[in-house]
Amino acid sequence: MNWNIVEGNWKQFKGEVKAQWGKLTDDHLDVIAGKRTELAGKIQEAYGITEDEAEEQIKRFELHNKDKDPTHFA
């Protein structure tokens, strides 16, 4: 998953992120703005997990969405 593309298409992509991590608020999503490191930090905060756990969740998310074009997310 190319996070430069995600960042550039964040408005379309954030619905997928919200579906995966429902505890993230709209304010969190605005701060994340498509940045992978911000996403990891907000997942840690919202779910009370370690950095390694957040990274593993993001890796699984990336694998699941690797072939998706973020410009087609609703």
The CATH number linked to 36 is 1.10.1470.10
Query: How many Cβ atoms are within 10 Å of 28's Cβ, its own excluded?
Result: 20
Q: Give the model's pLDDT for residue 9.
A: 87
Q: Model confidence over 5-55: pLDDT tens digits? A: 888 889 888 999 999 999 999 999 999 999 999 999 999 999 999 999 999
Residue 71 lies in a domain: no
Q: Model confidence over 52-67: pLDDT tens digits? A: 999 999 999 999 887 7
Domains: count for the chain: 1
Report the alpha-carbon angle 72-25-13, nearest 5. 10
Q: Give the model's pLDDT for residue 50.
A: 98
* Domain range enclosing 20: 3-65
Q: Give the model's pLDDT for residue 74.
A: 43
Q: Are 40 and 51 in contact (CB under 8 A)?
A: yes
The pTM of the full predicted model, rounded to 2 decimals, is: 0.85
